[in-house]
Amino acid sequence: MYEFMRHLKRDPESNKIIGLHENFFLPVGLSEINEAENSLNIAFPAELRQFYMEVGWGQLQTGNSGAVADYNYIASPREIVAIIDGASEWLMPYSQIEAQTLPFLQRDVDLFLCLHPNSDNPNAVYWMWGEKMSNGGRICDSLVGFFRRLVDDPNWFNLPNP
């Protein structure tokens, strides 16, 4: 499903320092996914679960097109739990995550892209607080499609400046 991202996987034993805007992903085991799901009492959407199994967690900041983003940190399952519990360093003290929301990608401090696991399309990607937008904040209908485009341009989904 995510074969187009396998080249971004990093050897977890590597001592090489991660460079500025370097793309990398580290493995996630099934036990970590299950632990997070049990802690949150929610099943991850199928495409997120498969993403963790095939690619892992990490960052995608430089696209094939040469475009660069300052963020795009894909949270590990443990980090998703910390974000929802309010214990993540990625949050401001006043942050609140809506119920039944999985913030999986940090776009900036306290700004996440999310999945809604109990929705009619649990693999669709949304802006955090997207209900305030005319389209409900939906960015993409599938996580696979989202990452296909992100690999080319890490900024493709950003809202245009007024």
| pLDDT value of residue 8 | 87
How would you classify the pairing of strands 24-26 and 138-140? Answer: unpaired
The three-state DSSP-derived secondary structure of 67-133 is CECCCCEECCHHHHHHHHHCCCCCCCCCCCCCCCCEEEEEEECCEEEEECCCCCCCCCEEECCHHHC
What burial class does residue 157 get, using C-beta atoms within 10 Å of its C-beta: 0-12 exposed, 13-18 middle, 19+ buried? Answer: middle
Cβ atoms within 10 A of the Cβ of 108, count?
A: 12
Residue 131 has pLDDT above 70, yes or no: no
| pLDDT value of residue 128 | 84
| Global pTM value | 0.89
Query: Which CATH code for domain 3-152?
Result: 3.40.1580.10
| pLDDT value of residue 65 | 83
Q: What residues does each domain of the chain span?
A: 3-152
Residue 62 is given by DSSP the state B
Q: How confident is the model at residue 162 (pLDDT cuts 50, 70, 90)?
A: very low
- pLDDT, tens digit, 9 for 90 and up, residues 20-44: 677 889 999 999 999 999 999 999 9
The H or E element spanning position 50 is: helix 46-54
- pLDDT, tens digit, 9 for 90 and up, residues 84-130: 988 888 777 777 788 788 999 998 777 899 999 999 999 999 988 77
